[in-house]
Amino acid sequence: MNPVWILTRRELRAYFDSPAAYVVLSVFLLLTGWFFGNTLFLENVASLRSVFDIVPFLFLFFIPAITMSTFAEERRAGTLELLLTLPVRDGQVIAGKLLAVTLFVLVSIALTALYALVLALLGDLDLGATVGGYLGLFLFGMTCGSIGILASSITRNQIVAFILGFGIIFVLYLLDKVTAFVPGWMAGVLQYLGIDYHYQNLLRGVIDTRDVLYYLSVTAFAGLLTAYHLARRPE
């Protein structure tokens, strides 16, 4: 069996063998359900927009919480050295952990498909915006997962890993929102680097390869930095 998939299964088993994953998913669905229900029943607006708007903000907290143990706990428990001495490459270890986090994010997003089904039954579902929104959430979550894993690879303390991961993601989330306070030549750069800017583009239902490439590039760059930190471990 592919070593990456073996490592992925190992990580997923670690998530779902503890109550943490179920708590995160329950709170996630509770919050998204509240926003969806509030919009649908109290404001009489049949739209997924409220869900698509709140999920990235929730990811700022939930994904660092999911990823903070990926390497930090392995370092603390002394199992990272054992894992990395197995006949697998560092890149395969990183890919396995990232794939596990991505699948976890995918499950959480897929559970919200019930809201889309409700709107489809009501006959008022914007298919283009829905597909773009879910694609954006998937890419957003995958990128945040890669950043969270990077933060976890830097330290052996899970709380520090959570704070560091949250800080990096939060800065990227704010970049396109401070363009009014910087010189014009810098505004375009900050806007492009903003993780939420590309998500909002996809949310319009227009899938631009530049937005997809941004998420893939940031994910790959965070993975390379993680590999660099692992390569610097004491022999």
User: Tokens at residue 15, please?
Assistant: 């998530």
Cα–Cα distance between 210 and 195 in angstroms, integer? 12
CA distances from 224 to 51, 86, 113, 213 (A): 32, 20, 33, 16
Q: What is the pLDDT of residues 190-202, one digit of tens each?
A: 889 999 999 999 9
Contact 200, 111 (CB under 8 A): no
| pLDDT higher than 90, residue 40 | no
Q: How confident is the model at residue 84 (pLDDT cuts 50, 70, 90)?
A: low
Domain residue spans of the chain: 3-230
Cβ neighbours of 65 (radius 10 Å): 17
Instruction: Look at residue 235 in the predicted model and tell me its pLDDT.
Output: 46
Q: What is the pLDDT of residues 121-158, one digit of tens each?
A: 876 777 888 899 999 999 999 999 999 999 999 988 89
